Amino acid sequence: MGSWSLAWIQSLYDYYLIRGDSSYVSQFVENIERVLGFYERHLDKKTGLIGTVRNKNFMDWSITKGSLPRADEKNEMKQSVMLTLYYAHTLDCTVSLYKELGLSEKSKKWIRSSRAIKEAVNESCYNEQEQLFSDYPDQQIFSQHTNILAILCDLIPPSDQVQLLHRILNYDKFDEIASSYFSFFLFKAMKKTGQQDLFLENLDSWHNFIDRGHTTCGETGFASHDRSDCHAWSAHPAYYLLSIVCGINPADIGFGKVKITPHFGKLDWVKSSLPHPKGDIVFDVKKLEGNGIEGFVELPPGLIGTFEWHGRNIELKANQKNKILFNN
């Protein structure tokens, strides 16, 4: 068992949201329970955090050396808030998946566990002076990772999460910052908090790849120790360019409908094509003077949806080019 097993559970939930294939994900329930049960057995009753684990728990590369969370000389990880919140986030994904599968009793169990973990982290790990969550309950060590996960876990009310996100992006004394890999969760936090326009402003790692002559994505984004110049786990901007900038997302479980809510940032126009089981979704929209946009969205046969721009909506019809026009 290890953090990759937790990532596997998260990915099953993501898969279900896009494909709605309950029969496929249901076959893994027993293994999901085994993974979650392993970490449950390692929760420290005194602190409420994951106590001591010796298994492989890679969360991210360190900006200096090694990986996170750090193990001690005995190869043990103790009281890691980062790992604990990663587990809590996985619990939340599991609860949502189980509810969809009709596994109400199992979901209730993990809801209780997730709530207890979050209460424990809030009580022992929030630093009022720094306005951040620490990586350990007894140490003043801070990372982007732990605080990104605090947003994804709803550790604080939604009304306070935007402020924490901006703190994550602007605080200059972090002991560890997210690599190109873990930025997947940073961008996920932007999307969750409605701060999608920040996405294009935070692609420094990928600009650096281009500046260094790369035609593929590096493994870490840290120039000091990129181990590979071709690594799939830093390729997620390809997903976010479609889901954030173009704003193309499933409107229901299984992607039977589409909802398009673009966030151009400083871009003047965007063209894209997203593959869908029913055919390609073609997006071609540009900005007008002021706050307007115009262009078209073409949907394949059998797929309908909506296009939203600053609270205004257009119904999108299947198998045709849908004209998009919003004046100021």
For 77-119, the pLDDT digits (tens) are 999 999 999 999 999 999 999 999 999 999 999 999 999 999 9
Cβ pair 175, 135 in contact under 8 A: yes
Report the CATH number of the 250-326 domain.
2.60.420.10
Q: What is the mean pLDDT of residues 262-289?
A: 97
209 token code pair: 């790849």
Tell me how crowded residue 139 is: count the other CB atoms within 10 A of its CB: 12
Half-sphere exposure of 166 (CA within 13 A, CB side): 7
**What is the rounded average pLDDT of the residues 185-200?**
98
Residue 227, pLDDT > 90, answer: no
Cα distance between residue 325 and residue 294, in whole Å: 4
Q: Which CATH number fits domain 3-245: 3.40.50.150, 1.50.10.10, 1.10.1740.10, 1.10.645.10?
A: 1.50.10.10
Q: How far is CA 101 from CA 82, 113, 183, in A?
A: 29, 19, 30
The domain locations on the chain are 3-245, 250-326
Going from the C-alpha of 73 to that of each of 44, 54, 57, 139, 175, the distances in angstroms are: 21, 11, 15, 18, 20
What predicted TM-score, i.e. pTM, was given to this entire model? Answer: 0.97
